[in-house]
Amino acid sequence: MDKIIAYCGIVCSECPAYLATQENDNAARKETAELWSKQYGMTMKPEDVNCDGCTSQSKRHVGYCNICEIRSCGKGKQVVNCAYCDDYGCEKLTKFWNMAPHAKATLEKILKSR
């Protein structure tokens, strides 16, 4: 499987929600919903765990992804991901990176290889 990288740098193709969706694995959906409910202090149901990846044209995206300002911006600018944006390192990204430094590392690696 090819690596799918979200606008923000998260590797969608390694995300448990993406994997559960692609494998149509209800046990994995349930496990992910339970984990994320605890981890993020919210209620998530297994049926909420459906995602085809951030950059997909599909309508299936996990909850927050539907309202994510980074995703919306990237789509609007029609970039592959934020590493290809002229405003790379914007405030939206830097705030997100505080929570997900691994996403920054992914984008930095892309920047160096461009």
Provide the β-strand partners of residue 11. 5
Per-residue pLDDT reduced to its tens digit, 46-85:
999 999 999 998 889 987 788 899 999 999 999 999 999 9
Residues 6+ apart with CB under 8 A from 60: 21, 50, 51, 52
Number of neighbouring beta carbons within 10 Å of residue 110: 17
- Counting Cα atoms < 13 Å in the Cβ hemisphere of 68 gives 20
Per-residue pLDDT reduced to its tens digit, 21-48:
999 999 999 999 999 999 888 899 999 9
Does residue 7 form part of some domain? no
Does residue 79 form part of some domain? yes
> CA geometry: angle at 65 spanning 83 and 26, to 5°?
120
The predicted pLDDT at position 64 comes to 78
Does residue 6 form part of some domain? no
Does residue 84 form part of some domain? yes
How many domains are contained in the chain?
1
The pLDDT > 90 percentage for the chain reads 82
Does residue 63 form part of some domain? yes
Mean pLDDT computed over 99-113? 94
The predicted pLDDT at position 91 comes to 96
Q: State the residue range of the domain holding 64.
A: 12-113
Does residue 5 form part of some domain? no
